[in-house]
Structure 1
């Protein structure tokens, strides 16, 4: 994850506190609920110029920051799988 992505993500994690965000941190454990996930989705799409397709809107994608970041990277590179 780059620093900008970690900053964007941390705004949606009410239980993160002052701890650094790692790629393997479980987002649900840090307070990401379904409403926050929707807000996060829109924020990511706006900030990174991607559109996350429906088939990637699954629990695995939003399980960790690292999973979500890897989807963003793949989409920015043109890989929609």
Structure 2
């Protein structure tokens, strides 16, 4: 995953606790506090930061389930990027 992606994601993980967590592709976004309202805010943040637009079919619970699934959706919109998810 792109380091910029994980740094943009970190503020939305309100239930992560005070310690610095390592965000991996398996990080469960819902468990760490990303609810539907935050998912919308996160979507706008990612679209602005990466200058992309996620297609409507990507707006679902599966896309926002883990950091890895969300990164894959973002990476598919980036020119010349691979959708490979690495921790």
Give the TM-score taking structure 2 as reference length.
Answer: 0.84
RMSD of aligned alpha carbons: 1.2
Alpha-carbon shift at residue 2 of structure 1 (Å): 1.5
* Distance in 1 (alpha carbons) for counterparts of 2:58 and 2:52: 12
1:48 aligns with 2:50: yes
Give the TM-score taking structure 1 as reference length.
Answer: 0.90
* Distance in 2 (alpha carbons) for counterparts of 1:46 and 1:28: 22
Runs of 4+ in 1 over 4 A off after TM superposition: none
Structure 2 unaligned runs (5+)?
Answer: 81-87
* Distance in 1 (alpha carbons) for counterparts of 2:41 and 2:65: 16
Alpha-carbon displacement from aligned partner over 1:3-55 (angstroms, at most 9, x marks no partner): 11001001111012321111111100000001100000000000001101111
